[in-house]
Each structure stands twice: as C-alpha cells, then as structure tokens.
Structure 1
Amino acid sequence: MKRRMCAAFILMWVSTGWCAAAAAQDADGEGREKLPIDIEAARLEYVKEQLIGSGDVVIRHDAMTLKADYASFHPETGVVYARGNVEFTRGDLLWQGEEIRYNLKEKTGDFGRFSMEAGKYHITAGGSERVSERELLLRDVMFTPCEGTPPTISVHAREARLIDRHLIKVRHGTFRVRNMPVMYLPYLKRDLEGGVYNFSAGESGDWGPYALNTFTYNPHSNVVAKTHADAYARRGLGFGQDLRWGRERGEGNLSLYYINDSEPQDDDHATEEYLNESKRYRIHLRHLERLSDYEYAAARLDYWSDPDVVDDFFDDEFRSHSRPENYLAYSWSGRAHTLGARVDAQLNDFEDRVERLPEIALDLYRRPVTDLPLVYRSETEGAYLARRYPGGLRTPVPDDYHSWRLDSAHFLESPQKLYGFLNVIPRAGYRATVYSDTAGGDGDIRHLGELGVLSSFKAYKVLSERERFYGDGLRHLAEPYADYVWRPTPNLRPGDLDLPQDADIYEFDHIDELDEAHDLRFGIRNKLQTRRNGRVEDVLDVDFGTVYRIEPETGEEDYDTLFFHAEFDPVERIHLESDFEYDWYTHEYSPFNARAELMTTDDSRLDMEYRYRENEHDLFEAELNLFPNETWSLGLVTRYDRDEEEWDENGITVRRRFDCVGLGMGYRRSQHDHQIFAYFWVLEFGDTSPRLGI
C-alpha cells in the first residue's frame, strides 16, 4: 500500500526538525520557518534527518508539484533531491529530466539535463540551474516549435535564460535548418507563449530587392501584436507596429507605419508638395464597442501622409479601403426609438469629405395613434455640415461651403389588409429642413410634403417535399409590390452637387437632394426556399423592377432604368450574385456586377468578380486557392481590364508545408510593376501571407 504523510504531520515534522532539535530550539526561544508541503510515496521513511521516499513519489509545495521514482527532503535546509523520471511542474511550466536538486526556501536549484514545454515551443538543455524564483539558467540549450529529430528549424546556444516561464533570452546563438547553421544570432529575446517570426523577400519594379520582417506576439491574452521591420533597396527602411485586440463586447486594431521614402512615386494626380515629401506614414485605428445589448460605439481614424502611401506599400489593403475614413459614432436602440450621434472629419487635406461636427439623429418607430387606424413615425436630425474639397491636387476644385441643418420628417400611415391577402399602406408626410446658410447666402427653411401608397402581397407554392442535392423540400415565394409617391415642388430646390451656385440650397447628402416627384416604383421579388440543417434558407432570391415617372421633367424619359439583383445558392458551398441596371432606351447596362464563390470540403476556393460602370471601369478578376491544407498548395490571381484590353495583374503562389513550417514562393505582375517573392511561416501559428505592394 502506498503510504502518505499528510500535510499537517509533515508540516509539524519540518517546522520542528527532530525532537532533540525542537527541544534545543525551544530552549533558545527561536522558531523555524514553516514549509507547508505534502509528500506521497510507495515507501516513506525518515533517515539521518532526511525524509526519503521511493516509488511514485509526489511532492507538493505552493504552486510546485514534483514527481520522481526517488526523492529525499532535508527539513533543515529545505533542499529536495529527486532522480528517475523526474517531472517538475510550476504554474504552466513543465520540466522533465532524470535528476533535480531544488531548494524550496530559496526557490533555486540545479535541474541537470532536461526537456520542457513552454507555450508552443519544445526546449531541451544539457544542464540547468534555477538561479531565482523567476529565472532558470540553461546550458547547451535548443528550442523549437517543431516535433521532428532533428527539428526542421531550431535555435541553439551555449547559454540561455528562461524568465517567468515564457520569456527566453539567448546570446551568441545560431538559427538552424535541419541542424545546419544558417544564421548567427548575437542576441535573441522571444516570448514563447505567442511570438512567431515571419519573413518574406523578393524583387519588385517599384521597390527593388526587398525583405519584409514581421514578428508576431501576444503582449496580453486579448492582444495580438505585430512588429514590422522592412528594407527596400529603392525606397529605404520602413517600420511598423500593429495591435489587434478583442474581448466579449469589443474589438479593434491599430496600425502604424513609417518610411523615409527615397523615391516617392508619381501617380499623375498629386502635386509637387506630395511628390517631394519623403517622410511617408500611415496611421489606422478602428474600434467597435458593444456597450450593452441596445447600444454600441464605433471609431475609425485614417491619417495618411499622402494619397498614395497605402497604394504604394499596402496594395491588398488599398483595394478594400482606397479612401481614408475618420469618424466617431454612437447608437442606442430602444423599443420605440433609436438615438444616434456621429462625427465625421477631414483629417487628410487631399480627401473629398462632408464633415459632420457633429450630427445627432432621433428616429421614432411606428406607433399607434390613440384608437385611430393610424401609425406615426418620424426622423429628425441636426448637424453642422461642411463640404471640404481636396487640396494639393492638380485639377481645380469648387470652394468649400458649410451650414447648420435641422431636418425633421413626420409620417402618418394606415396599414390595411384587403381581401385577406393584399397589404395596403397609405401615407402622408411633411418634412421641414432648416438651413443656417444657403446658396443665396441667408438662412431659410425648406418645406416638402409627400403623399404615397405602398402595396404588396405574398404567394406561396410547395414545389417539392423530397430531399434533393439543394436541401429538404422546395418552396416558391412571390412578392409583387408597388410604391406610389407624390411630392410637390419645394420652395427650395437642389442643384448640381459640384455647382452649388446653381442651387437654392447646399447639397451635403440625400436629404438635400430630395425634390419634387410623381412616380410609381413597382417590381416583384421571387424566392426559392429549402430547409438545410433544420433552418429555412434561400436557394434563389431575385428582385427586379423599375420606376414609372407619371410626370417626367424636361429631358427625362417615362421609365427609369430596370434594376435587378439576384443571389443563388444551389448548395451550401456555392454562392452566385449579380446586380445591374438596364436602360430601356439606350439598351445599355450600367452598372453591371457579377460575383461567384465556389468552395470545396478541403477548403479550396475560387472567387470570381466582374465589375462594369460606363466610362469608369470594366474589370474582371479571379482568385483561386487550391488545397490550402495539403502538403502542396497553389494560389492564382488575375485581373483583366477590358477598357485597356490588357491584363491588369497576374500572380501565382506555390506553398509547401513541412512538419512544422511552410514555405511559399510566387510571382505577381501588374501594369506598372512586377514582384518575385518568397516567405515562410510556422504552421503552429497559422499561414501568414506576404504583404505585396503592386
């Protein structure tokens, strides 16, 4: 039977030593420091002032647990000696070896040869010594995120220090690939709980030869940080710091980047003021906070040194956010109303912006009016608005303008259902808009009335109750609708957005663009629905219609364009989408957009998109990512400009996964640049694609 000395008995033994020692100590009037420990072993005995255990020994003290085949403990000195399958645990630190000598009082010791796990890394050492409670001295040390022998990548050093169980400091180390030294490391400091180094290098027409270095780490459990140190042969040195944070109710990110650019690029739009400025930077901040179930706050800041810094160095980011945005927003939604506030500012003088300093809006939801068959709703907002045109551009721009504006719209509606299926909602409304400044120079009030009727109905038909490839059963839903609106001519009318002198009022947004109207908007929405995974989902959703102008203005046709939007999901991993407007009279489609997403069970993915707008762009692009989880994977990207009748971009990336690291190589070419690149990443930390600048 395994014997166990309970913690209380051992504590008494340790604190008194032996009976004779206890008597002598009592005579001296001195007490000893107590060490509350718990010892278990198959055999436990006290020999020559030492407690000796053998067979499945377990020693516990504070946050430390030590397991071994044999162990001895000296109560006087507090020294524990253990050998044979030793396992030492303290917090999240796990150490394994054959022999250890550890002082419980001083929390120091000699660990000998060992191996341990720290974060996502494996550490082995020929010798070790705990020099303090926080620090472990390692000799002939090797650490790696890999499992193999020898590991694919590793760091070796004669001596290293492990601090607080996760921070390792190495001097005069070597970085090895398959045990072959490839880089000398005079000094290395690494957080083993979250740090990873990513490297990409290549050659670009705009950058020349370059090397991009990124170190990713976790300064806090809810924060991921990336430090960038980049070298461009033609452009200079660039440095950046990214932070991304998230918790239950809030998330955001901060990105900083600076480069002393030796060759700023001319994009044919910026003035000499920007072209001659070598100090280029980008500051980006975004945060979303859900303050409660009913309210949230959001903020975004983009501060750029010039209009092209993101395009030059962060091409992928530029495609999704080509313009800087700067705002603060707050929204609170109750059962009866929504209250919101927003501030928009022009922080970059090269951007075209409507400033809102601030804007406050209150929307009242539909609510019954006493016992009458009426509901009431309203929309009210007040703002100081300023239209800021960009400065520093070669083309002339209009003068800025500004005004206080208070807009309030009120509607009465009478929802009815006729014949048991037809929804009819007559409405009457009035909108008053107060301006402190108008195009005429003085303040004024715009009065705008509105009458209208919205009607619609829904019809269903079950087409199939059988389970097919698209889902379980199939139902058709059709919803025709028509919306009649009449607005008489207001006393103040809008003009051309870029020629405010031709208007009665300044134009800032859609509120100022409201004018007389006598129209009928009608269309039909069709859906095919099925059941997938216990939920009703749309297989097909198509909405199309047009506007009939009952009283067209001079130069207008009777019918506006045909609008069309469709989404098609035949199976869970295929999504098709298209939208366009068709001109009945010129037979032109503008805009016309189409998108396709195809995914497979192994996470391979094909994305295709076509975008057309008359006199602006006519582009096709596609991106293919094959076998991302396999040993070999392939990425392809292409963009074709039909207006220019040439390929805007083509690229290929080949990736190879080894046991713990991945290697990628590729080539991308655009109209004005080309780039050859290679990068690697540690599989344990996920794939980190290179930042491309073409």
Structure 2
Amino acid sequence: MKRFYSWLTVCISIIFFTPSELVAQGLFNFKGSQVNADSSEFQQNTKLFILKNNVRLSTGKGLITCNYAQINTETFDFEAKGNVVITGLEAGDEIKAELVTGNIKTRVINLGEYDGRTGPWYLLGDKVESKEDKTITGYNVKFTTCDLGHLGHEEHYYWKAGKVVYNEDGSYDAEDITTYVADVPIFYLPYFTSHLEGNDGQFKIVPGYSSDWGAFLLVSRKIKVAPNTTVTPMIDYRKEDGFAFGVGSESKGPNHEFKSLFYYIPEGDVDKDDLGRFDEPSDRYNVDIFHRWDVMDKLTLRMKLDLVSDIEYKEDYVEGGSSFDKQFDSSINYFDLEYLSDNYSLSLGANARLNDFDSTIERLPEVRYDLPSYRIGNSDFYYTNENKFGSYKAKWRDFDDDLSDLEDYESARFDSLHALHYNTKINNWLNFTPRAAIRLTYYSDTSDGEVSDEDLSRLIGANDPYNPPGYAANNYDDEGDDALRLVAEIGYELSFKAYKTNLDVQNEWMNVNGLRHVIEPYMNHNYIPYVSEDREHLYYFDETDRIAEQHWVRTGVKNRFQTRRNGQIHNLVTLNTWVDFHLPSDEDNAREGVGDFGTNVTFDPRDNLSFESDIIVDLEENDVNIFSLTAMVGDPDKLQYTLNYLYRNEFESDSLYSNASTMYSSVFSSSFSRYYEEKQTLTAGVRYRLWFNNFLSFRASYDPKENEFIRYMVEWQRRLHAWTGAVRFEESRDEYRIMVYLYLNAYPGSKIGLKQ
C-alpha cells in the first residue's frame, strides 16, 4: 500500500490550486500551477472565486478535474464537487469522489465517499481527512487487487480496515482489519502498525495441513525499524510440534549486508527413522547469521554461521534445504577477510564445524595470497603465484550408533604454486602458450599407512549419515613424519580461430539471416613428470593432496554456427568435441593409450525449440560412460513439452589434473579417479493451456533399469485476474504429498500454501 498513501499525499497537494487572478492579488505564491474552466467569476461580496464546467487544476505534481470549484479568498476554505477525479504522476493512478472540501492555509482536506486505483490496488472508502499535524486518516478503507467491473462489487477477496492513519514519517496505524474471501470474513486483527517502505506483501498468514506437521498456521510480520533495517518476528503453530517462535532481521547499506535468523521449537517432534544414525534431539532450533562488511576500499569481511539442532531440521522446516552433504562441506560456517588489489589478493579465512553431525574440513586459520597472471615487464611472459598456509583438520560426523570407525586427522599445510606462461602467435595465426609450473606443499604430519583412491572412496561412503557401512574402512594414521612434496609440470596449449560468413544462407523457419561458422581447434598437452611424495601417505583435505604423476593430451574442436536474430548475434549451434590420450608416465597402474571421447552440442533453432546433449565414450573399452539429452518444445503459455534422458554407466573416471591450465567438460571433472554407479533416468513433462487461464502440467521420471516410475507429478493451475491457484499431486518412491497454493499475481512472493 506504499504507493497509495504516498500518491494520496501528492494528490492532496494538487487541491491547493493557484488561479492567476488570486496570484495577482498576492494571496498565492505557488509556481507552475495551471487553471482551466469553461467559466469563472469572482464574487466581491462573498469573497468567493468560482470555477464552473470542465474545471482542470494542475500543479505539475498531478491533475484534478471536476464540474465545480470555489475558494474563499479570506478564509481560504475551498470546495470541489461533481465528478471529482484526482490523477497522480504514476500511470493508472487516480481517485474519484463527489465532494472534496478543505482549507488551503491549514492544509486540511476532506474527501467524501471515494474509489480509486494505485498500482495493482483498487480502493474504496467512506471518508479521508488530512489534518494540520500532517496525518492522513481514512475510514472504512477497502482494498483489493481484484478488478471486476465497478469497484466494490464481486471481488474475490479484499481487506477492510475501520480506520487507517498515515503519518508523515511513512508509518501507519490500522484498526479493525478483516480479511474477506467472497465476502466471507476469514481473519481479523484488532490493530496493526508498520512502515510503508518495502512492506507490500510482507505480512504473511499461511494456514494449511501437512502430513508431517498436521494442521498449521504460520504467521510472520516484516517491520521496518530503521531506513535500511527490517525485523521479522514469527509465531507459528503446528499440531505435531506445538508453538514455535522466531525472529529474522535484514540490514543493507552501501558498505554492508547483514541477515540473521533465530528459530526455536520447544517441543519439536522428529521421526527417529528419519534421523538415520543419530539420536533424537530434545529441542529443535536454528541460528543462521551472515554478515558482509566493506571495511575500506578493496578490504571486505565476510562471516557465515549456521547452527542447527539436528541433521533433519532444514529438511523438515526449510523448503529445499538440507543440512548435510555426503562429502565434505566446509562452506556452512566461515570467516573471511579479503583484500582485493588490482594485481593480487590477500585473505585470512577460517572454517569451523559447529554441528557435530556434519563432516567438515576445518581451517583454523588459513592465509592465502594469489597473484594471478602478472605480466613481467613488457614481455609476453606471465607469472602466476598461489599460496595457502593453514592448520587443517578433517572432522568426520560424530555418529550416535557407534558403528563407524572413521578417524579424524589433522596437519599444518603450506602450499605454494608458481607457474610461468608465454603467450605468442606463430605466423600471426596460431596461438602458442607454453607453460611450466612447480608446486611445493609441506605437511607437518602424514600417514604411515597407505590410503588408495578406492580406500578414500570407501571412507567417503562410510560417511553416509543414514546407512552404516558394510565394510571396514582403511583410515589414515598419525604415525607418519612431516613431508615436503614437490610437483613439477610442463605443458603447452595450441589453438587458432577461423570463420567464414555466408550471407546467402536464409531459412525462414529458423529465422536465419546469413550464417557465420566459427571454428576453433585446440590442444592441451600436460606432463607431470615428478611428484616427490606418494599421495597414498598424504592426508586428503582437497584435490591438491591427490596430485599424481601423469601425462596426457586433450585435443578438440569448438564450432559455433551463428546468425543474427532480433538485432543480436545468436548461436544457432554450438559443438565442442574432444578426445584424451594418455601417454606413458611413472605412476603405478597409470592408464596409457587412447582415453575418453566427449562431445557437447546445443541446438536452438527457434525461440520455442532447443536441444542439448552430452556424451562421453571410453574409446579403449568401447563403452558409453555418460549420455544425456534434453529437449524443450513449445510455448509455456500455450503448450510445451520437455524431455530429459540421462544414462551413466558403472565406470571409474580417468585421473586428469593440471596445476596451470583448465580443461573443458560439461558433465564431470575430477583430479583423481572416482567410481560411479550405473544410473538411468527418463523424465518427460508437458504443460498445456486447457482454456483461458487454466493450465495442466504433468511430469514423470522413469527408471528403465528398475522398470519403475520413481517420481511423477500432476498439477492443475488456474490464473484469475488477481489470484493464481494450483493443486499439485506428487509421488516419489511410495511417498506422496498434495499441495494447494495461492498467490497474488501483483505480489507473487506473498504466497498462501496448503500441503498434505
């Protein structure tokens, strides 16, 4: 409702018009005013200045039209009546009344019965008063986003307040607020106060029923407490959990950002089966804080804390959220102070585990200095330097079932990468970039026992929070000495780009107006001939610790077929094809010979038609390891089909790593071998406009290997002029839910949801 009150203030100022005759008498000194009428007169005995028929009064801030207007030049009382229409500056904003009275000098104004519109809102009321204390008071105010014929008739929903007082500082107080649906009162508040700025749609009342919560009522209110700060108290009730209390806050400024959430459920209930290998918590809660502060130019502080009561909390209470990751996750809680210069970056960071059911790599602390691509003098040589020093500790989940034998391990580590690149062109067309790099990594502690790639995969598998391991894990020990590892790397990249344009190529169906073919062959040759320490004895904190001797070549071609569409360059087809070759190296059991063949292609022939596909083939085994295809056909506002197929073979990925270059792969990328299980999924969907604003959507996922549907969804959606409502049924692996949700088209964020 912000625009209504701020616009109404402007409209009131329009009433204080300035007829030229009165200006001449020195009674008014307003500038920019214009007055037009079919006839006007000044009555000397009554001191009335009268305007009649087609009266138009403007101050440059808006316009008022009426049939009759008069002003007393002694008392400054005025009156406008007969089809009074006040128009604001925003398109479509206006208010209509039969009678407007007031006083120019005291700036008091009274509107009789009125109706109007501001933004998406339609308004109706008995009376509006503007007082000397600069407050505006409306009585029996009725507002809605429904527009059905004459205002005040056949609204699907509306709110009605007995009294609304708008204050000069932008705050307002409302009394006797009732929510109506089809003229039936469904909710009542005796009093409500807030601030206009940033609060449209921020009062939320969400009733419903859930199979997890039972009947529930979620109530929250966003309150502006300072120009850039809001606080949102919450009082929720769930039949299965009882009452819950929370408060959120948000503050933004040119140099800072702060968000927080404190939420507490005194008697929260959780199904023991959902907790997997953890005990049931006594209380359920969440403390979530994020803070960013630009301390000075180029110096930024960031902090994130996320403390929750149990592993299922966010899955139960935060839509789409999850508090766990089957691999390490060091991003939940962190502190980072970073100085970002034009030539380098320097940061001090820390990660700590606050939730003992998480597995985390703690960095307490870590100092990092990076010098990216520094040009040496005026030469074509570029130097890259990356340095990290910290105290690292791998902390596995603290399971309550005592079935896990995962052991934490820790070490101080200093890692320093130095790379030199030389950029040149051969014969002014072939890009040639040779490189050399060394990496020094110091560990204060190592493992005396070996942990292979397969052992590490088993450790990560044993970290599953729900399924106890069916095997004994081979852990790192703390019997090793310190170690200094040296990694040496050399390599080069070759590439060139060529294109050909044919303006004669025309195709009306694909909207092709000329075609340009851009081709870019490339080759990346990388050789790591020397690694001074075996990775099996080094603690694993990240991919840096698994570098091994390797020798490979990746060669490929990027193709783009471009045309001009809607005044812009459009990629009609993009195709990237590559193949890997593994050359002899000193690493035990290293792969030699031809490796993987991969290709990624996108095809966008029309605005309502697109395709994308990825494929990776093991040429040595002659097996397809990855294949995916996605197609989208049609207009989502009429009829649209979607299709996605994913096939993943059971395979072990190749070990490919480079300290000083990047590789392209749209499907997966890993520095050391990983094992993948076989998976197949076929997902199809359709969205169809039945009639007018009724839509039917269907989506299903099928597992060809298991010969069963693993998930499907059916949804019917109805768009009204003010509301959109939908009913959805979903089933996934014998678990289902039914959801009903409604939202205002004008404010899609103010959603009312019902799910079972």
Calculate the TM-score normalised by the size of structure 2: 0.72
CA contact (8 A) 2:564 2:570 kept: yes
* Deviation, structure 1 residue 161: 1.9
Say if 1:37 and 1:632 are closer, same or farther in 2 by CA, change over 3 A: closer
* Deviation, structure 1 residue 643: 6.4
Larger mean CA deviation between 390-399 and 523-532 belongs to: 390-399
CA separation in 1, counterparts of 2:699 and 2:587? 47
**1:550 counterpart SS class:** coil
The answer to whether 1:281 aligns with 2:286 is: yes
Say if 1:413 and 1:466 are closer, same or farther in 2 by CA, change over 3 A: same
CA contact (8 A) 1:135 1:162 kept: yes
CA contact (8 A) 1:201 1:677 kept: no
Say if 1:320 and 1:242 are closer, same or farther in 2 by CA, change over 3 A: farther
| 1:306 corresponding residue in structure 2 | 310
Give the letter aligned to residue 264 of structure 1. V
The answer to whether 1:120 aligns with 2:120 is: yes
Say if 1:436 and 1:639 are closer, same or farther in 2 by CA, change over 3 A: same
| 1:28 corresponding residue in structure 2 | none
CA contact (8 A) 1:410 1:429 kept: yes
* Deviation, structure 1 residue 125: 2.0
CA separation in 1, counterparts of 2:378 and 2:33? 76
CA contact (8 A) 2:572 2:603 kept: yes
- Which of 482, 485, 488 lines up with 1:446 in the alignment? 485
* Deviation, structure 1 residue 665: 1.8
- Which of 269, 276, 291 lines up with 1:263 in the alignment? 269
* Deviation, structure 1 residue 341: 5.7
Query: Gaps (5+ residues) in structure 2?
Result: 1-17, 448-478, 649-675
- Which of 658, 662, 670 lines up with 2:724 in the alignment? 662
CA contact (8 A) 2:142 2:159 kept: yes
| 1:82 corresponding residue in structure 2 | 80
Larger mean CA deviation between 469-478 and 301-310 belongs to: 469-478
CA separation in 1, counterparts of 2:500 and 2:690? 42
Say if 1:635 and 1:252 are closer, same or farther in 2 by CA, change over 3 A: farther
* Deviation, structure 1 residue 431: 2.1
| 2:471 corresponding residue in structure 1 | none
Give the letter aligned to residue 611 of structure 2. L
The answer to whether 1:529 aligns with 2:561 is: yes
| 2:505 corresponding residue in structure 1 | 466
- Which of 418, 435, 442 lines up with 1:427 in the alignment? 435
CA separation in 2, counterparts of 1:146 and 1:561? 63
| 1:11 corresponding residue in structure 2 | 27
* Deviation, structure 1 residue 97: 1.2
CA separation in 2, counterparts of 1:184 and 1:690? 14
CA separation in 2, counterparts of 1:255 and 1:605? 39
- Which of 380, 385, 396 lines up with 2:404 in the alignment? 396
- State how 1:294-333 maps to structure 2 within 5 Å: 301-318=305-322, 325-327=332-334
| 1:22 corresponding residue in structure 2 | none
Give the letter aligned to residue 212 of structure 2. D
CA separation in 2, counterparts of 1:377 and 1:271? 46
CA separation in 2, counterparts of 1:389 and 1:339? 30
Corresponding residue pairs, total: 659
**2:20 counterpart SS class:** strand
Could you say which structure has the greater relative contact order, defined with CA pairs below 8 angstroms and 6 or more residues apart?
Answer: 1
CA contact (8 A) 1:403 1:438 kept: yes
- State how 1:624-635 maps to structure 2 within 5 Å: 624-627=686-689, 631-635=693-697
| 2:369 corresponding residue in structure 1 | 361
Give the letter aligned to residue 709 of structure 2. W
- Which of 506, 512, 532 lines up with 2:539 in the alignment? 506
CA separation in 1, counterparts of 2:345 and 2:512? 39
Q: Deviations over 1:491-539 (max 9, x none)?
A: 33322xxxxxxx1x3222222222322x122221231311233325251
* Deviation, structure 1 residue 393: 5.3
**1:206 counterpart SS class:** coil
* Deviation, structure 1 residue 671: 2.7
* Deviation, structure 1 residue 595: 3.9
Say if 1:419 and 1:532 are closer, same or farther in 2 by CA, change over 3 A: same
Calculate percent identity across the aligned residue pairs: 20
| 1:19 corresponding residue in structure 2 | none
CA contact (8 A) 1:609 1:621 kept: yes
* Deviation, structure 1 residue 264: 0.6
Give the letter aligned to residue 631 of structure 1. N
The answer to whether 1:350 aligns with 2:357 is: yes
Q: Deviations over 1:119-146 (max 9, x none)?
A: 5322222334445544444444422222
Give the letter aligned to residue 438 of structure 2. Y
Say if 1:141 and 1:454 are closer, same or farther in 2 by CA, change over 3 A: closer
Give the letter aligned to residue 526 of structure 2. V
| 2:585 corresponding residue in structure 1 | 551
Calculate the TM-score normalised by the size of structure 1: 0.78
Larger mean CA deviation between 139-148 and 602-611 belongs to: 602-611
Q: Deviations over 1:131-176 (max 9, x none)?
A: 5544444444422222214142344658322414987655445433
* Deviation, structure 1 residue 362: 1.0
Say if 1:477 and 1:298 are closer, same or farther in 2 by CA, change over 3 A: farther
CA separation in 2, counterparts of 1:606 and 1:249? 45
| 1:410 corresponding residue in structure 2 | 418
| 1:181 corresponding residue in structure 2 | 184
**1:312 counterpart SS class:** helix
CA separation in 2, counterparts of 1:297 and 1:594? 42
| 1:673 corresponding residue in structure 2 | 735
- Which of 201, 210, 213 lines up with 1:207 in the alignment? 213
CA separation in 2, counterparts of 1:618 and 1:678? 31
CA contact (8 A) 1:561 1:584 kept: yes
**1:685 counterpart SS class:** coil
**1:185 counterpart SS class:** strand
- State how 1:595-614 maps to structure 2 within 5 Å: 595-598=630-633, 600=635, 602=637, 606-611=641-646, 614=676
Say if 1:157 and 1:527 are closer, same or farther in 2 by CA, change over 3 A: closer
Say if 1:7 and 1:675 are closer, same or farther in 2 by CA, change over 3 A: farther
Larger mean CA deviation between 311-320 and 653-662 belongs to: 311-320
CA contact (8 A) 2:415 2:441 kept: yes
CA separation in 1, counterparts of 2:445 and 2:632? 49
CA contact (8 A) 2:141 2:164 kept: no
* Deviation, structure 1 residue 194: 1.6
**1:486 counterpart SS class:** strand
CA separation in 2, counterparts of 1:211 and 1:636? 29
Larger mean CA deviation between 655-664 and 577-586 belongs to: 577-586
CA separation in 2, counterparts of 1:587 and 1:393? 46
**2:82 counterpart SS class:** strand
Larger mean CA deviation between 540-549 and 362-371 belongs to: 362-371
| 2:611 corresponding residue in structure 1 | 576
Give the letter aligned to residue 600 of structure 1. D
CA separation in 2, counterparts of 1:79 and 1:453? 87
Query: Gaps (5+ residues) in structure 1?
Result: 13-33, 496-502
CA separation in 2, counterparts of 1:385 and 1:427? 30
* Deviation, structure 1 residue 622: 4.8
Q: Deviations over 1:642-690 (max 9, x none)?
A: 6665433322221212222222222222235322222222222237667
